[in-house]
Amino acid sequence: MRLLPLFPLNLVAFPGEKLNLHIFEPRYRELVRDCFTEGLTFGITPYLDNAVQELGTEMRLLSVEKTHTGGEMDIKTQALSIFRVQKFFRQAPGKLYAAGQVEDVVQDEEPDPMLRQVIAGQVRQLYEALGLRKLLLELDPQFRIFDVAHHIGLSTEQEYQLLGTTAEQERQEMVREHLERLLPAVLEAERLKERVRQNGHFKHLQPPQF
């Protein structure tokens, strides 16, 4: 186990993603300064149901993009890996910010190639229905579930459940089931919007041939 500075936030960060943050509280400005000067990493632990959760994501500070006159900072970070908090401290020794004794969560990253193809098709349907073709173009053929998890309509609670799933194939199955439930509702909503748009227009319809 090791001591890791913690930054509880009302979000889930997935390994591999880049996250831009605006830092304004003095305790987290201190955290950023320590990461910058000492090369420390820090952990984002989701704050859900009025509690700091036990799973979190280790983050690396990439850059401080801007320091405002009031001391606030705009920073760029990258998510590295998942950890579990064994003991939470409201303040690290001699610091304003929180910390935790953490241990790394081992991941099984082996995907099911067939499931990935199924999910890619589902994601394509979803993105096209929602007009998100730019995201579709950026979808890597070797994508992992964490690469798309923020873009498929999961709640924060569902994202946290995904964070706690340690095997890629289990994550694939969860996402396939989620999209299987979500897609019919999205497609029907899009059809409804199209019908509303067409209401009152002159319709050019091809009559059936008897």
By residue count, the chain amounts to 210
CA distance 122 to 118: 6
Q: Which of 26-30, 138-142, 146-150, 182-186 has the lowest mean pLDDT?
A: 138-142
Give the per-residue pLDDT at 136: 65
Backbone angles phi, psi at 89, to 5 degrees: -120, 125
Mean residue pLDDT of the chain comes to 89
More confident residue, 198 or 187: 187
- Location of structure tokens 């095997």: 167
Give the per-residue pLDDT at 210: 45
More confident residue, 200 or 167: 167
CA distance 152 to 172: 13
- The domain made up of 2-104 is a member of CATH 2.30.130.40: yes
- The predicted model scores a pTM of 0.84
- Residue 196: is its pLDDT beyond 70? no
- Location of structure tokens 């994508």: 143
Contact assessment for residue 97 and residue 7, using Cβ atoms and an 8 Å cutoff: yes
Domain boundaries defined on the chain: 2-104, 113-198
Per-residue pLDDT of 85-133, as tens digits, reads: 999 999 999 999 999 999 999 999 999 999 999 999 999 888 888 777 6
Mean pLDDT confidence for 157-182: 96
Q: How many CB atoms lie within 10 A of CB 177?
A: 10
More confident residue, 17 or 207: 17
Mean pLDDT confidence for 5-26: 94
Mean pLDDT confidence for 191-209: 57
Closest C-alpha among 92, 93, 70, 87 to residue 7: 92
- Residue 190: is its pLDDT beyond 80? no
Mean pLDDT confidence for 36-53: 94
CA distance 128 to 144: 20
* E strand map for 90-202: 98-104
